[in-house]
Structure 1
């Protein structure tokens, strides 16, 4: 019976489409909903007012009428190719896990996720700009705060943020699985789905504890999690001395231990986004 279950799971994953969305939709939408539930009432009204103009983005195949839709807009528009190809490198920053932390070296001309969070926060706050620019800034900001809290968007080991690090996920072994995909999708969906729900109104104490810091702080935090949790777990030890070309593996016990790590990053992402939205739109 167990062999039949393993075979079925392996078959299903083998024929799943390759994930194209960071954190898939679930992670981004959850972070956006946490933020929406924890902003000031005037911020919530300002967000709704801006998103009523989302049609001005002229991306009918990628709607942004709600904050949840806006949270995945920046991934959706990748399919529009030349119109938005300039934004491709804004979703991540390849800060080497086996070198001293240096986000500026990984962010030439501001083309990385942390710099674009700061840039779009400034654009969103500037009420002299055309509304279309501010709607786009809102969508980018919501998405990029989500991206930086997926640790493998904040770090790298010469493998495109774990995309070239093959790894097994529990009992599932498949050549299409890699470390980035596991953290983007399978692990994050398990973590977010675990009770209790992450979507709620948080206390002032919780917001203060989890919602602080600036983008440099978040960059270092997620770089460290990527090095010490994501790569170290998959490689079974120090990720900088373990063989890089060996196939990684996450056991069921390791997956269970990583679930709280992912849940905390989703909570932090949502509450930090709420704070940034309040600063830009809360009056």
Structure 2
């Protein structure tokens, strides 16, 4: 159980920023932008037609100076929609992974948050702590369902295909965040850490933050499409990273989760991260490795996202 001072520290950190969301807006938008640059021209038009069915389209494109930029802005901003619906203005309802609404795919008539769609905790224990059963519905089950429905030939309505597209833009990024693929159970945290949410770390910036949120924050927090494009195209930014083309061809979401799980065990839980809930000071080596892994995973997510959409809408 977290101590009072630790809970207060987390409250202070999160009170000054957006709630913890995978990669946060900056990461998701940069992944989407890099993917967009690799979409076929005809696919970009089909994508835009689907995104126009989302009620937030006008908001996504409000700052765009021209139609061409507006289409790109919509794609980039849509990547954060699955996190946006967790916030108060949307009034979307929380539900559970074992509930009647868990695995549905009904389009924009669905007003549930589906928080469990964002991850698949591959549970493990380094000290033989008992593991719980896995959720029946998760990021892998939903990505497979939505990817299958995205092509026009699937027979799904445009409303469903649009809804699925905005979720796919987000979930592909989530699947490549290592702590969205793991749950660690230890004697000190017997109920599991929910992907690093129970452990506390102190990075070089000096704040106390949940391990999961630390990894989410690698690309920054809230950002506009302008900011995401600027950061991705900056020297050494996400646009400049090379990706192994053999790995980029892997289209199975379960394989993505398996990769992320192994990276989490090797890097996210590496020393000095504790097996308990006490805050630990991160080392320079740990933070360097975390940034490198996050960047390579985001670049890979962008390549796989572009391939997925090109294949579905060609």
- Whether these two folds match at TM > 0.5 is yes
Deviations 1:125-171 (A, max 9, x none): 14432211111010011110011111111111111111111111125
Q: Give unmatched runs, 5+ long, in structure 1.
A: 1-11, 236-241
Contact 1:155–1:223 at 8 Å: present in 2 too? yes
State how 1:89-128 maps to structure 2 within 5 Å.
Answer: 89-98=116-125, 106-108=134-136, 111-127=137-153, 128=155
1:165 aligns with 2:191: no
Contact 1:62–1:73 at 8 Å: present in 2 too? no
Match of 2:236?
196
Match of 1:53?
53
Contact 2:31–2:299 at 8 Å: present in 1 too? yes
> Deviation above 6 Å: which 4+ runs of structure 1?
none
1:208 aligns with 2:245: yes
Contact 1:31–1:266 at 8 Å: present in 2 too? yes
TM-score (norm 2): 0.71
Structure 2 CA distance for partners of 1:81 and 1:49, relative to 1, 3 Å: closer
Separation in structure 1 between the aligned mates of residue 83 and residue 58 of structure 2, nearest angstrom: 12
Separation in structure 2 between the aligned mates of residue 32 and residue 60 of structure 1, nearest angstrom: 16
Match of 1:152?
179
Match of 2:39?
39
Q: Give unmatched runs, 5+ long, in structure 2.
A: 1-11, 62-70, 94-109, 185-191, 222-230
Aligned residue-pair number: 249
Cα shift at 1:200: 5.7
Separation in structure 2 between the aligned mates of residue 244 and residue 113 of structure 1, nearest angstrom: 27
Match of 1:23?
23
RMSD: 2.8
1:231 aligns with 2:269: yes
Match of 1:5?
none
Contact 1:92–1:147 at 8 Å: present in 2 too? yes
Contact 2:32–2:75 at 8 Å: present in 1 too? yes
Structure 2 CA distance for partners of 1:280 and 1:27, relative to 1, 3 Å: same
Match of 1:7?
none
